Every structure is written in C-alpha cells, then in structure tokens.
Amino acid sequence: MNIWNNENLIKVLRENGVVVMPTDTLYGIVGKAENVSVVNRIYEARKRSPDKPCIILIGDMNELEKFSVILSEKQKEELKKYWPFDFAQDLRPEPTSIIFDCPDEPFSYLHRGTKTLAFRLPANQELRDLLKKTGPLLAPSANLEAKPPSETIAEAKKYFGNKVDIYIDGGTVKGKASKVIRLHKNGSVEVLR
C-alpha cells in the first residue's frame, strides 16, 4: 500500500500544512521548504535549535536550482555515486543527505546562517512521486530536540499533539537517520554522519 498517495496528505502539504509521516528513514515532521512560515512552525513544534538547518527532501535533482544550488561539473560527477539510484547495482541504497553551499540570503530561513543546505533524493519511487506533487519538503525527524525519534504515530502525538495538521500512520518505523555528506564545489566529499 502506498501511504504517500493520499489526496488529503497532498492537499494539506500543498496548502502549507505541517504533517507527521514516514519518510525514507524515520517518521518526519514535514512541510513545504519554500514557505518561511511553515519552516518556522516546524522549528517551533520541534523546539529545534534555531541555528541548526534541517534536511530537505526533493523529488528530482533539478529542484536544487530552486534553492540557488548550482552544481559544478565535478559535483555532478561525484553526485552520480549517490543519486539517482542504480537498483541493478544496489538493491538497498543507503539514504544519503548531501550538503551543498547555499550562500544566498533569501534562504537564510533554511540555512540558518550556515550558508549550506542538506538535500536528500529518496530511493523510494512512491515518496519521490509525492514530492513531485508537493514540491521540496523540510523533513527533520519527528521528535523534540534531543529526544529519541518517534517510532509510532502514538509517540509522535505525545511530542506534537495538535501542533501538526495531520498524522499519516505507516506502522512502526525503526529506521535510522540518513548518512550525511558534504559535497564541495571541487568534487571532494566529507562524511559528516
């Protein structure tokens, strides 16, 4: 069953709502990355430190351009190792979030002064289909700062109560946070998590 092909979920996200739902790793508290008030709502709900940026889920690599992330040729070459996915070679690709430079001031509400943004292109086609309908989604894990990630909707409700618009139940999700790498303009990679 495709939990992400849910008309109400798509509608709430398109209309700038905040949702708790499974991602490709853990339950996330998600909303439109291009909407400042949605991003601020997620930070407030999570009690997230205001100087820590969150990962943004994208449905397509071209969406990087919406955030003024212009890849160098060396970055494009290196990126092929992580996105898109060659399922013939790797049946269970490790979810990898990639940090790029984003010095542009209009995105300071996302990069929080770090002048970098982290993106993840999920391997799951159904989740990518949702992202193509909603646009890029800010997707920190569904927990309060420094608390364990929610594994069930019941746990998420204890954290957030009525601070989110809908909860999408995907059963028990015992994933782990994605790998995080920094991809520099010269193509060099730094593994951060």
The residues spanned by each domain of the chain are: 7-82+94-191
Strand, helix or coil for residue 160 = helix
pLDDT at 94: 86
Q: Are 5 and 103 in contact (CB under 8 A)?
A: no
User: Model's pTM, two decimal places?
Assistant: 0.95
Task: Give the torsion sign (CA, 126, 131, 25, 72).
Answer: positive
| pLDDT tens readout for residues 10-57 | 999 999 999 999 999 999 999 999 999 999 999 999 999 999 999 999
CB atoms within 10 A of CB 171: 9
Task: Tell me the CATH architecture of domain 7-82+94-191.
Answer: Alpha-Beta Complex (3.90)
Of 103, 119, 113, the closest CA to residue 33 belongs to 119
Q: Are 6 and 100 in contact (CB under 8 A)?
A: no
| pLDDT tens readout for residues 52-105 | 999 999 999 999 999 999 999 999 999 988 887 776 666 667 899 999 999 899
* Contacts with 89 (C-beta within 8 Å, 6 or more apart), sequence order: none
Q: Are 158 and 74 in contact (CB under 8 A)?
A: no
